A and B are shown apart, each in its own frame.
Chain A
Amino acid sequence: MPTEILMPALSPTMEEGKLAKWLKAVGDDVSAGDVIAEIETDKATMEVEAVDEGKLGKILVDEGTEGVPVNTPIAVLLEDGESESDISAAAKPANGNAGGAASAKGDGPDVTGSLSAEAPRAPAAPASGPGPAEMPDDQPPEPDVPEGTEMKQMTVREALRDAMAEEMRKDEEVFLMGEEVAEYQGAYKVSQGLLEEFGARRVVDTPITEHGFTGLGVGAGMAGLKPIVEFMTFNFAMQAMDQIINSAAKTHYMSGGFIKCQIVFRGPNGAAARVAAQHSQDYAAWYSHVPGLRVIQPYSATDAKGLLKAAINDPNPVVFMENEIL
């Protein structure tokens, strides 16, 4: 019986993606593990591997199509002896156990196993639907924006990247460090393109040692540099809290104001989707209790860009918490 290949969810927050490229053509033989297509997710371009074998019978979604929802059938695989005529007979009741979803990384229950019509369509943000870019619709107009100003649509992640890039262009002492910020382009794709523009001296991949690299960043800040320390998520900053609180926040006071530390600690914070208690914490209240820290939680792309630029220019340590789901 022909097997449907479904649009896979390739990240925990992906709801739809662009079918960037087909790497197999109709009629090609496909073995399990073959890369059959490239899909652009909200974070990166990923390869899709087949999980079943057969012959590619029909492509249902052309390459270049954007906004393909997760779990949409994108192609049909034929078993030996089947032909295209079998597809119409079998394809439509797709609510059954098609089970042909491809998975790039074996992401688990999201993409493999039984998929039904009600299959959860990727971890949904509350009030899912419009992405952050469309959000300004429900917001009051900015009072200080002159009438007729042309507004630009931008995701929060682009806003964060642009804020860092603009400040790094202006000030040689601003640099970014953290896990996967350089060659991987950011675990959440926030630092995309920064390595290319600023080089490895100013976009620094660190080992996975939050306590150590946070202390190192604070020391660089005390020596007068303006570090941006990215945490992959704030959950992991708990290992580094001693350096954030005891070294970064308190030293200014304990030195009578003579030691400054102009540093931004930033990264996603708050509940994510279906990742259990260790990866779902909101630290806003914790950090807000610490004298010497400024604590920021931007919501929209506009806020994210403006506040991150302000944070980088603030002479104090700033804890800048981005929303895990935006």
Chain B
Amino acid sequence: MTEDTPVIEAEEAVAKSADTEAADFTVEAYRHAYEEMLLIRRFEEKAGQLYGMGLIGGFCHLYIGQEAVVVGAQMAMEDGDQVITGYRDHGHMLATGMDPKGVMAELTGRASGYSKGKGGSMHMFSVDKNFYGGHGIVGAQVPLGTGIAFANKYRSNGAVSLTYFGDGASNQGQVYEAFNMAELWRLPVVYVIENNKYGMGTSIERASATTDLSQRGRSFGIPGEQVDGMKVEDVRAAVTRALGHARSGEGPYILEMLTYRYRGHSMSDPAKYRTRDEVNEYRTKKDPIDHVRDILVKEHGVAEDDIKSIDKSVRETVNAAAEYAQSEPEPDPSELWTDVVS
């Protein structure tokens, strides 16, 4: 574990699973995944641009590089399953089907944003899309997501709570308190650990005594596995397994997604803690979107023009969201006093 780089582990995971996981991933599934991942990529690039122009204030944590995780997971979910995550959350919102206009308008702090301009990057919600935020305290969403699972079991509604957190949050005490209750009460929850190798600027090796996060539930009896989070088909297959486990009443399941964020922790991160070569290695050889694009073109014979038309339509969606987010009004100052209590 200590000598191998996480990249190599991910490659091994692919070697194990590629034959089986990719087999039932149809051309339509690849096309869908490509479109969804590209939407997140372009959206986040645009958000970074608007941030640089001073149009987005506060914190802004971009998801670029990790797109295969939320898109693959969403493809495995059933209607009614819920999603909750931390503050690197734009990708999750778009994957659950939230409107890019409303998300971007919240980023620019406008009244027509998902939280009326009062939540910002880290705090958006959509009960319609079963997206429960968007939480700014590292690890806090883990008991919350476990509570959503508790409600599912209480109501016997058959839904599973997908509770996302990062490698940084995986050292939080409340995560283990939640693990204990989830297994004790056999709650329908899948914990998706997005291990992007760095908790802010501290590498996982410098923060965690054990770095195989998929095994963090072992002392509670929670099964877990590592997944190549750069391969959308592997993600979908693993989440399908985990959801099946949780939905059948067998309790929680842990999936450690080995992934990578290309950008800094937040917009103000100079990224001095890693080399440019390391980032480029992922960008050029592991990119989740390039991977799917290659398969579409080379294995399924999809024409370059088809791909370009997807690219174009995604760009138009993102540009429309950006324009909307700049033209909508900011909330009235009196909104400071609303929604404090209901």
Chain A residues with CB under 8 Å of chain B are 175, 201, 206-207, 209, 211-225, 242-243, 246-247, 251-260, 291-292, 294, 315-316
Given A209-B180, A212-B143, is A201 in contact with B154 using a C-beta cutoff of 8 Å? yes
Determine whether the beta carbon of A216 is less than 8 Å from that of B181.
yes
B72 within 8 A of A: no
| CB–CB B151/A225 < 8 A | yes
From the candidates B113, B134, B177, name the one contacting A207 in the complex (CB within 8 A): B177
By a CB distance below 8 angstroms, the chain B residues around A294 are 341
In the assembled complex, B108 has its CB within 8 A of some CB on chain A:
no
**B148 and A222 within 8 A (CB):** yes
Contacts known (A247-B137, A247-B140); A256 close to B150, Cβ less than 8 A:
no
Question: Which of B119, B134, B136, B177 has most chain A Cβ within 10 Å?
Answer: B177
B142 nearest CB neighbor, chain A only? A215
Q: Closest residue to A175 on the B side, CB-wise? A: B154
- Cα distance A54–B114 when bound, in Å? 77
Contact at A223–B148, with CB atoms within 8 Å?
yes
Query: Told that A255-B114, A259-B127 touch, could you supply 9 new A-B pairs with CB distance under 8 A?
Result: A212-B177, A217-B147, A223-B147, A242-B140, A246-B136, A252-B342, A253-B340, A257-B338, A316-B341
A258 to B98, CA, bound (A): 14
| Interface core residue of A213, A223, A291, A316 (most chain B CB under 10 Å) | A223
- Can you list, as one digit per residue, whether each of B172-195 has a CB less than 8 Å from chain A (1) or not (0)? 011011101100100000000000
Q: Is the CB of A209 within 8 A of B177?
A: yes
B21 to chain A, nearest CB (A): 31
CB closest residue in chain B, given A251? B133
Question: Which residue on chain A has the smallest CB distance to residue B163?
Answer: A219
Q: Hey, which chain B residues are within 8 Å of A251, CB to CB?
A: 123, 125, 133
Q: Inside 8 A of B176's CB, which chain A residues have their CB?
A: 212
Whether A253 contacts B118 in the complex (CB less than 8 A), given A218-B144, A291-B340, comes out as yes
The interface residues of chain A lying within 8 Å CB-to-CB of B181 are 206-207, 209, 212-213, 216
CA distance A292 to B184 in the complex (A): 32
Task: Tell me whether B342 and A316 are in contact (CB under 8 A).
Answer: yes
| Interface pair B177/A292, CB less than 8 Å apart | no
CA distance A159 to B140 in the complex (A): 34
A311–B143 alpha-carbon span in the complex (Å): 23
Known: A213-B177, A219-B150. A257 touches B116 (CB 8 A): yes
For B157, give the chain A residue with the smallest CB separation. A223
Q: A219-B150, A258-B115 are in contact. Are A211 and B143 (CB under 8 A)?
A: yes
Residues A212 and B338 in contact in the complex (CB < 8 Å), given A219-B145, A224-B151, A246-B137: no
Chain B residue numbers with a CB within 8 Å of A207 are 177, 180-181, 184
Which residue from A201, A215, A252, A291 sits with its C-beta under 8 Å from B144? A215
User: Contact between A256 and B147 (Cβ–Cβ < 8 Å)?
Assistant: no
* Known contacts A255-B123, A255-B133, A259-B125; A220 and B154 CB within 8 A of each other: yes
Docked Cα-Cα span, A211 to B178, in Å, equals 9
CB distance from B156 to the nearest CB of A (A): 10
A254 to chain B, nearest CB (A): 4
Could you list some 12 contacts between A and B, CB below 8 A? A207-B181, A211-B174, A215-B146, A216-B144, A217-B147, A219-B84, A220-B147, A252-B342, A254-B115, A258-B114, A258-B115, A292-B341
Within the complex, the shortest CB–CB distance from B172 to chain A, in Å, comes to 9
With a CB–CB cut-off of 8 A, which chain B residues contact A225? 150-151, 154-155
Closest B residue by C-beta to A210? B177
- Smallest beta-carbon distance B72→chain A, Å: 24
Judging by beta carbons under 8 Å apart, are B144 and A222 in contact?
Answer: yes
Determine if B151 and A219 form an interchain contact, defined as CB atoms under 8 angstroms apart. yes
Question: What's the nearest-Cβ distance from chain B to residue A67, in Å?
Answer: 42
Q: Which 4 A-B pairs have the closest CB atoms?
A: A219-B147, A212-B177, A215-B143, A256-B116
Closest to B179 in A: A212
Bound-complex Cα distance A254 to B338 (A): 10
Known contacts A212-B181, A246-B140; A219 and B146 CB within 8 A of each other: yes
Residue among A207, A212, A216, A225 with the highest chain B CB neighbour number at 10 A: A216
Distance of B185 from chain A, by nearest CB (Å):
8
Among the listed A215, A223, A252, which residue makes an inter-chain contact with B178, where contact means beta carbons less than 8 Å apart? A215
Distance (Å) between the CB of B216 and the closest chain A CB?
A: 15
Known A216-B146, A224-B151, A247-B135; contact A255-B174, beta-carbon cutoff 8 A: no
B118 contacts A254, CB within 8 Å?
Answer: yes
Q: Does B253 contact A (CB under 8 A)?
A: no
CB distance from B149 to the nearest CB of A (A): 8
B339 on the A face (CB < 8 A): yes
Provide the bound-state CA to CA distance between A255 and B118, in Å: 7
